[in-house]
Chains A and B, each alone.
Chain A
Amino acid sequence: MLGENANIIAQLKKEILPLQGFKSIKGKENYDLGLGPIRFAFPNSCFPLGAMHEFCCDEKENTAATSGFISGILSRLMKDGATCIWVRTAKTIFPPALKTFGIDPEKIIFVDLKSDKEVLWVMEEALKFDGLAAVIAELRELDFTASRRLQLAVEHSRVTGFIIRIKPKKLNTTACVSRWRISSIRSGSPNDLPGIGFPRWNVELLKVRNGIPGSWQVEWINGKLKPIQKSIAVIPEEQKKTG
C-alpha cells in the first residue's frame, strides 16, 4: 500500500514539473551537459534547459569563474553549430579563452549596451526567438517582474537563459529556476607538475526549484566537470614555493 502511494506521488510530481517551467525539450530529455555530479541536484537528474538560471558574482574573480562555468555548459549547447547571444554592459569577455572551453567564439553574437534596462529588453527579444542555443546577459539588478517576463519567454521558445548578476545589491526573489554562485578554488597539480592546473571551481547551487541545493568542488577537464579527488586537492605547504 505504501509503495503504491509513493508511486502515485512520484507520478504526480512528474506531472507537476512541466507546469512549473520544467518542460523537457524533445530529443533532449536526457541531455548530458557534462555537469558530472551536479546533475543529480535537478529534478529528473537533468539540467533544466529552456529555463532561466541566475548566477551571482560579488567580485571580478567570481565573474571570471562564472563565465568559465557557463562557457562549459554552452559548449554542449552549441555543439550542433547553434549560435547564442551574449548581452552585456562591459566588454570584458576575451573570446580566445572561450575556445579552450570548447566553444567556437565566432558563433557568439555580442550585444553591447549601456543600461540594465536595455539589457533586459534585448534579452527578452532574443529569448522569444527559438533558433538560439542560449542567451546570456550580464546585469546588476533583476526584479521579480522582469525575471518572470524572461521566464515566460523561455517557456515559450525553449531557449536557455543565463543571467550573470554582477555585484547585486540585494539577492531578491526571482522567477529563475536556479541560483548559483561559482568561485575559483586552488587548482591541482596533475602528475605533480609545477604551474597552474586545470580550472577548479566551488559550485554552490543556492536555490533550485524542485531540486536539492548543494555545493560541489569540481574541476574542468577535457570538456567535462569532474568532482575533485581529495588527494590531489591537498598540496603540501613546502611545495608551493615560487621563488
Chain B
Amino acid sequence: MAKRYVSLWFRHLKTDWLTLRQPQLSNKALVLSTPSHGKMLITATNFLAEKEGIHSGIAVADARAIFPSIEVMDDNPSLPEKLLGKLAEWCIRFSPFVAIDPSADGLIIDASGCSHLWGGDEPYINEIIKRLKDRGYEVRGAMADTIGLACALARFGKEKLIIEPGQNLEAILPLPTASLRVDPEIIVRLHKLGLWQTRDFIKMPRSALRRRFGKDILEKLDEALGFKEEIIKPIQPIQPYQERLPCLEPIVTATGIEIALTRLLESLCTRLQKEGKGIRKASFKSYRVDGKIEEIKIETNRASWHVNHLFKLFEINLSTIEPDLGIELFILEAPIVEDVSSIQETMWNRSSGLENIGLAELLDRLYGKIGSKNIYRYHPDEHYWPERSIKKVFSLAEEPASPWKIDRPRPIQLLSNPEPVEVTAPIPDYPPMLFRYKGKLHKVMKADGPERIEQEWWLSKGEHRDYYSVEDEEGNRYWLFRSGHYSGNKSYQWFLHGFFA
C-alpha cells in the first residue's frame, strides 16, 4: 500500500499550553525566555507577540523596546517533549502509528489506509486540525507521500497542503531551501549562492551537490521525494495482535461497549485461530472524547481464543469503564500470545483433571474477581517442620517434586499459630495427663509420641518441638507439643497445634 503521512506543526506549542492553563494570558503578547550568555533570550512567542514583530532568538530587552507591555515567563525546556507525547497519544485515535517529529514541535502520523474512514484525505486532515484547534492549539497540518515533504509543507507550504500520491516532485519545487531540514549552515551557504528554492538546485548533478553541500542534503532530498525511506519511532509500539474499532458517534452505554468488545474479540480471535495461537494477556482500551484512556486488562492460565470465555473475563471489570462524554475508539491488544494445539485441546476437554481447559477458564474468571494470589494448590516441601512442610503452588501445570510424607500422623486441621495450653504431665518426656485449652479441661485418655522435630538452624533459631497426639475422654484428638527441654531455670511451654479427624 502506498504510504501517506500527515505532519502536524504546533506553531506556538508552549505559549498555547500556558494560555490554556492561565486563560487571562489569552489577550496578551506572551513570550518565554531563558538565560543565555548573560542575557535573557526569547525562546517562544505567542501569536500576538509575533504580530508585533517579536520572534524567538532576540533578547527580552529588545522585545520590550519594540512592545513594552509583553508578558515574559520562564521557559521550561523539557515541556515540549511532554506535551508532544501527550498529544501524540491523543492522536492515536486517528492512526495507530504516531511519532514525535524529530525537528521541533511537531507530530508525524502515518495515515496509510486511515483517511478513507473519515471520507478522504481532506476531511481527515481537517478533522485533525479542527479537533486540535478546539483544544486550543494553533496547528498546521500537511499530508504527503513522504515524511520529509509533509513536514516541509506543514511549515512552509503556501496553498496546497495535501499532495496527491505521486506528485512529490511538483510539490517540492516551489518550497524554500530552509524546508529541507538540513544543517542551518548549509542553508546559509545555499542562500549565499542565491539558491532560495528547491527548484534552483534540484536539477544540479548529484556529485556537484555532494561536493559543495555534503551528502546530508542529498539524503534529505531523496527522503522527501520518496527514493529513500525515512525511519521514525512510533510513540506506542504497534502490537502485532491488535484490533481497532473507531466509532462514528461516541459510545456512552454499557451495551455499546459490550458490542464493541465482542466485535473486537471476534475479529482478533478469528485471526489468532487461523494462526494457531491463543491469548495469554490482553488489554481493552477505550479512548474517550475528552482525551482520557480507560483500560482493562485480563490474563489467562492457558492460551485461549474462545470469544465467550475471553468476553466473560473482560465482563467482570467492564463496569469500571466510565464512558463520561463518550468513547470514540476501542482498541483490543494481545501483548502476549502463545501457540495452541487444537488436537490436544479436544483431548484435554474430556478429562476432569487439572489439565482441563474448562478448569483453566473457570480459574481465569475467579482471578478477575478475587486476584490470582488467593487461588493455589499445595505441594509437599522437603522440611519436617510442619509449617514449612507444604508450599503454595500457583501454576496448574506444576508437578510435586517429592512425594507426600505419611509415615507420621499429621492432623487434618492445623492452626497457623500454635495456641498455648496449660498441661499437667507426670514425668519428663511422657505425654500429658491433663491439659486446659481455652478454659476447658481435657483429660487425656490415650496418647502417642513424642515425635521430636528440630528447628532447621540454617533457616531459623529456636527450640525444638516434642509432638504428642492425644485423645481426650470425649474422643476428640489433638496434636500438642512442648517447646524445648524441661530444665530447672528455663521456662518451657506447651502448645496445641492441630486437630485430628
Output the nearest chain A residue to B362 by Cβ-Cβ distance: A129
Given contacts A105-B404, A121-B369, contact A92 B413 (CB under 8 A): yes
* B378 CB-CB contact with A under 8 Å: yes
* B469 CB-CB contact with A under 8 Å: yes
Q: Decide if A240 touches B446 in the complex (CB within 8 Å).
A: yes
B375 CB to nearest A CB, Å: 5
Alpha-carbon separation in the docked complex, A106 to B469 (Å): 25
Alpha-carbon separation in the docked complex, A26 to B501 (Å): 32
Contact flags (1/0) for A98-133 with B, using CB distance below 8 Å? Answer: 111100011111111100001001100110011111
Q: Decide if B412 touches A131 in the complex (CB within 8 Å).
A: no
Q: Which residues of B contact A (CB under 8 A)?
A: 351-354, 356, 358-359, 362-363, 365-366, 369-370, 374-380, 386, 389-390, 393, 399-400, 404-406, 409-416, 426-427, 430-431, 433, 444-448, 469-471, 473-477, 498-501
Alpha-carbon separation in the docked complex, A133 to B406 (Å): 24
Q: Decide if A125 touches B362 in the complex (CB within 8 Å).
A: yes
Q: Decide if B474 touches A184 in the complex (CB within 8 Å).
A: yes
Q: Decide if B501 touches A131 in the complex (CB within 8 Å).
A: no
Q: Decide if A122 touches B366 in the complex (CB within 8 Å).
A: yes
Contact flags (1/0) for A80-110 with B, using CB distance below 8 Å? Answer: 1111000000011111111111000111111
Contacting residues, chain B, for A184 (C-beta < 8 A)? 474-477, 500-501
Contacting residues, chain A, for B500 (C-beta < 8 A)? 64, 68, 97, 184, 196, 199
Q: Decide if A109 touches B363 in the complex (CB within 8 Å).
A: yes
Question: A-B pairs with CB below 8 Å: how many?
Answer: 186
Given contacts A118-B370, A196-B477, A243-B433, contact A63 B375 (CB under 8 A): no
If over half of A's interface residues share one DSSP class (helix, strand or loop), that class is named, otherwise mixed; here it is: mixed
Q: Decide if B501 touches A199 in the complex (CB within 8 Å).
A: yes
Q: Decide if A242 touches B370 in the complex (CB within 8 Å).
A: no
Contacting residues, chain A, for B376 (C-beta < 8 A)? 109-110, 112
Given contacts A67-B413, A94-B414, A94-B498, contact A129 B359 (CB under 8 A): yes
Q: Decide if B447 touches A242 in the complex (CB within 8 Å).
A: yes
A22 CB to nearest B CB, Å: 22
15 inter-chain pairs at a CB distance below 8 angstroms, sorted by A residue, are: A61-B499, A67-B413, A67-B501, A91-B416, A96-B389, A99-B404, A101-B412, A105-B380, A106-B393, A107-B353, A129-B358, A185-B475, A187-B446, A189-B446, A242-B447
Q: Decide if B476 touches A61 in the complex (CB within 8 Å).
A: yes
Given contacts A111-B370, A187-B475, contact A65 B447 (CB under 8 A): no
